Amino acid sequence: MALKYLITGATGGLGKQVLNYFVANVPFAEFAAASSNASNESIFADRGIAFRHVNYDDPQSLDTGLRDVENLLFVSMSGMHRQEQHARLIGAAKKSGVKHVWYTSLAFGGLQNDSKAPVMQDHLYTEQLLHGSGLTYTSIREGVYAECFTIFLDWYPERTGSIVLPADGEVAFTSRAELGEATARIMIRGGYENQTILFTAEETITAAELVDLMNKTTGREIKLDLVSRGEYLRSWMNDPRGKPKEHFEMIASSWDEIARGGLQRTHPLMREILGRAPTKPRDFVTNLLKEDKDYVFIY
């Protein structure tokens, strides 16, 4: 019997939000949750949700887990071996006859394919694989999670005085819960075959504006210091947290792209799919900080 929807990454931040929408709106017989960890089956069984073991590093689990699936939510992996993992899953999806692959990509570069952000390169590679695979697919470039704003600012509650960054620019920070809902809705709605689409909030916010918002909401007196890229990268040597140099290189490369407008692009599609306006970045961050003035994103 065919399974209409399979949701990979169902224990992760985005996949969990997609699954929640299915649980509330779709008959349980039509969908299943998937995880790379077979022991997670009990988490879903307790809720009456069907489960499949899908591990991107385990070809056998891909062969069995993707069998008779019509719509596959392909949640992207993280880590050094993402390209190999994604290629393996795409090959298995084709072998298993998956009807439509819905891939969770990233919004660096908007709808263009020229982003230089290191974090975007594996997504561009995966989109190219999907395009050449013969599978029907939709690549959903998801806006950067608004919940992650503290990562981009490299801010933590113990920090006083200044936030130091190598650049500033506009970012269409987008609620992860709303991205999950929109992703679920578009899978159920269907269409957008062999297209790349963009889900974002409809407004942007800068680092300077975020710092100002933090001060107004929490009563702090933080300043934003913009320094040269070289000076920023050298700051790892005096970091009180002991973060490695790679941490600062990752943040610097993100701001390189942001300063070029790489996360500035917004799009009305998410409003159309949700049936309402996405939460504005300013409103989302304000609400987070009102609930917890020491909020930081936890991976």
C-alpha 191/C-alpha 295 separation (Å) is 38
38's enclosing H/E stretch is: none
- Using pLDDT thresholds of 50, 70 and 90, give the confidence band for residue 292: very high
Q: What are the pLDDT digits (tens) for 152-181?
A: 999 999 888 899 999 999 999 999 999 999
Tell me what pLDDT residue 159 has: 83
**CA dist 193 to 50, 103, 123, Å?**
27, 12, 18
Which tokens hold the place of 235? 């700051």
Tell me what pLDDT residue 62 has: 97
Share of the chain above pLDDT 70, in %: 100
What does pTM read for this prediction? 0.96
Q: What's phi and psi for 270, nearest 5 deg?
A: -65, -40
SS3 (DSSP) at 281: helix
Tell me what pLDDT residue 298 has: 83
Q: What's phi and psi for 219, nearest 5 deg?
A: 80, 10
Q: What is the mean pLDDT of residues 17-23?
A: 98
Q: What's phi and psi for 136, nearest 5 deg?
A: -80, 130
Provide the 10 A C-beta neighbour count for residue 12: 18
Tell me what pLDDT residue 131 has: 98
Q: How many CA atoms lie within 13 A of 175 on its CB side?
A: 22
C-alpha 30/C-alpha 2 separation (Å) is 9
Tell me what pLDDT residue 158 has: 87
Q: What are the pLDDT digits (tens) for 60-89?
A: 999 999 999 999 999 998 878 899 999 999
Tell me what pLDDT residue 283 has: 98
Q: What's phi and psi for 21, nearest 5 deg?
A: -70, -40
Q: What is the mean pLDDT of the chain?
A: 96
- Using pLDDT thresholds of 50, 70 and 90, give the confidence band for residue 48: very high
Contact 201, 144 (CB under 8 A): no
Antiparallel, parallel or unpaired: β 50-53 and 137-142: unpaired
Check pLDDT > 80 for residue 193. yes
Tell me what pLDDT residue 268 has: 98
Tell me what pLDDT residue 238 has: 86
Burial (0-12, 13-18, 19+ Cβ within 10 Å), 291: exposed
Q: What is the mean pLDDT of residues 18-29?
A: 98
Q: What are the pLDDT digits (tens) for 244-282?
A: 999 999 999 999 999 999 999 999 999 999 999 999 999
Residue 125 CA, chain-centre distance (Å), reads 16
C-alpha 71/C-alpha 188 separation (Å) is 9
Share of the chain above pLDDT 90, in %: 93
Check pLDDT > 80 for residue 1. no
Q: What are the pLDDT digits (tens) for 126-161?
A: 999 999 999 999 999 999 999 999 999 999 998 888
**CA dist 63 to 6, 39, 52, 82, 126, Å?**
14, 18, 11, 19, 19
SS3 (DSSP) at 255: helix
C-alpha 281/C-alpha 283 separation (Å) is 5
Which tokens hold the place of 27? 């008959």
